Amino acid sequence: MPLNRLYKWDIVNAVTRIPWTTNFRHLLPVTKSLRRRLNDPIPVLFSKKVAHHKDRIKYWNIVPGDQIRLLGDDMGLVQEVRAINRLRNRVYVRGVQSQVESEADAQDRKNKNYHYSRCQLYLGEYEFPPKKGEVEPRSLPVFAKRIGASAAVWNSFLHRYQWERYATATIPVIPHLKGQRIPIPWPKPEPRVHLNPTSYDTTKEEVTKVTYKPPPFSPTLKGLIPRTPTEKEFLRSIYSPRSSSQTQPALERYLHKEFANPHSRAKKLKRWQAAQAQKKALLKEMIAEELKALNGRTTGEAKAEATLKWRLRLDEDKKELRKLRWQRRGGEARLERKFRRKARKAEKQRARLTALVLKEAPNQVIPKDGVS
């Protein structure tokens, strides 16, 4: 998607579970008109908060599927990243389940979000030397204190940017890897779950079955061109396929004109060029007719009069074409229905006034004869 400007739906759909970076639209600024459009009501709940475009992160090294811990968390729990919001620099983690929580509460538990700067990547369990007075080595969780990355490269096959990430500093420091860059593998996507087929699903054998065989003739001009079937032969092959000796029903052979898109740019240009050529031919013909009988006019005056008649002729043709298109759209039929509806309405109103009878009531005066 080109980097032209940020749209409203980019902010509405900012929370994503896709770990890959396919574009840098999240670095675009929010315009004033877009801020006004964010207040328009839509049937989707979303956050209108957006970080400044200069504060947003270009290359994300913490993506959905990673294991992290939060800085300032006394418990030091390792949590899984569920989603990210590149416009707010927020990381969504799976809600921590309490020991006394019921199943209903677990379903209603929402994922919490934290700022990107509070997250530390979990590298795994590493062995450390034993403490003083102990013999067995210790196994401690290690987190990335500082993350580095290689140069991003565009993958034209997968249509996304790719780079390698590594930990340049860890906490705690690994003695035998001190000063080295520890590679951090990207999370592997969850495998797609394929449901077992049911009686409503199409079997693989039915899908791979060959249901069409090409007709036994060559569509090239070197071979014999088959005869176009008559209407009776075509209907007989459709309603009674067994009575026909042909392997295929009698259908039209060459359908490239019918199946081709008539609104393509090339065909529009071809029609326009044909119309321009027709107009020029009409002008040339009208000029030739005027030059045959000058009747005291000069050649220039005859050509000018022919050009004027040609323009009037084009205007009349344009009006006729507009009226024809209006009729094809059903405009004339709608106008006739409108007139009939108005006539029925006026007739009903006239009938109601004719049948109107006033009830006898006080303060009514019967007009005298000859007084209207």
Task: Give the rounded percent of residues in the chain with a pLDDT score beyond 90.
Answer: 51
pLDDT at 307: 96
Residue-level length of the chain: 372
Give the per-residue pLDDT at 49: 86
**CA nearest neighbour of 81 among 95, 66, 96:** 66
Nearby residues of 326 by Cβ (< 8 Å), 6 or more positions away: 332
Separation between Cα atoms, residue 141 and residue 260, nearest integer Å: 64
Backbone angles phi, psi at 209, to 5 degrees: -70, 140
**The predicted structure's pLDDT at residue 218:** 64
Return the pLDDT at 320: 96
Q: Kindly report whether the peptide bond that precedes residue 29 is cis, defined as omega within 30 degrees of 0.
A: no
Nearest to 89 by CA among 122, 61, 65: 61
**Digit-coded pLDDT (tens) for 19-74:** 999 999 999 998 888 888 888 777 667 778 889 999 999 999 999 999 999 998 88
- How distant is the alpha carbon of residue 348 from its chain centre? 52
pLDDT for residue 199: 86
Q: How far is 62 from 184, CA to CA, in rounded Å?
A: 11
Question: In the prediction, which pLDDT does 192 show?
Answer: 85
CB-based contact 87:50 (threshold 8 Å):
yes
3-state secondary structure of 92: strand
Which pLDDT does position 319 carry in this prediction?
Answer: 96
- pLDDT tens digits, residue range 118-165? 999 999 999 888 888 888 888 999 999 999 999 999 999 999 999 999
> Apex CA 268: angle with CA 228 and CA 274, to 5°?
80
Note the pLDDT of residue 361. 83
pLDDT at 243: 67
Q: Which residues contact 302 (CB under 8 A, 6 or more apart)?
A: 287, 290, 291, 294
Check residue 100 and give its pLDDT.
Answer: 45
Contact 217, 223 (CB under 8 A): yes
Token readout for 47 is 């956050």
pTM: 0.52
Q: Is the dihedral of CA 288, 292, 294, 295 positive or negative?
A: negative
CA gap 78, 60 in Å, rounded: 19
pLDDT at 38: 82
Q: Which residues of the chain have pLDDT under 70?
A: 1-3, 43-44, 95-110, 214-221, 223-226, 241, 243-256, 370-372
